[in-house]
Amino acid sequence: MKLVKNQNEIKSSQKVSDKEAEEAFIKILKWMGEDPSREGLLETPKRVVKAFKEYFKGYNEDPKKILEKTFGDVDGYDDMVIQKNISVQSHCEHHMAPIIGVAHVAYIPNERVVGLSKLARVVEVFSKRLQTQERLTMQIANVLMETLNPKGVAVSIDSTHQCMTMRGIKKEQATTVTNYYLGKFKEDLSYQNRYLRFISK
């Protein structure tokens, strides 16, 4: 008799079906004071499940795989590569309210570069999970550092949290900025300052 389940078995036993999720949303509609059987809401639980699959698809994606393919034929380019204004749509883990903003990502190649679309895809993978902005910023930077082995990484996110703008303190104009630096960007302020100048243009 097997006493210890492996991680895959545990995940499999905890998996919730689409039908179970739809039933949960029916209960939430009732809790709100709505009638899930009225015409306008009949398909709502199914639609919400479909939407949640899109909002949180990052749980089923591996950012390291996205960064596996790199290119060495760049004639020795060794200055920073910066991708600005990558759109961010995430959800806060405290209220499941949207986080909407932009990310700026930079790295200093160590002989090899990665396809530009891959930087945006990494941001997307981590964004499509329940998040705090601080952790999201660090996760993007850390996976780039671990996978590409660059000389440095910088990540900044500027976003609006609807848990602050639509509820609670309701400060509609408030935005949150987070920065995380690794390697040369952390050790050498000249790199950090150049990066900040570039993303502020």
Q: Mind telling me the catalytic residues?
A: 92-95, 133, 161, 163
How would you classify the pairing of strands 176-183 and 113-114?
Answer: unpaired
d(CA 23, CA 12): 20
d(CA 54, CA 90): 11
Q: Which residues contact 84 (CB under 8 A, 6 or more apart)?
A: 102, 104, 198, 199
Bridge partners of residue 81, in order along the sequence: 107
Locus of tokens 């986080």: 99
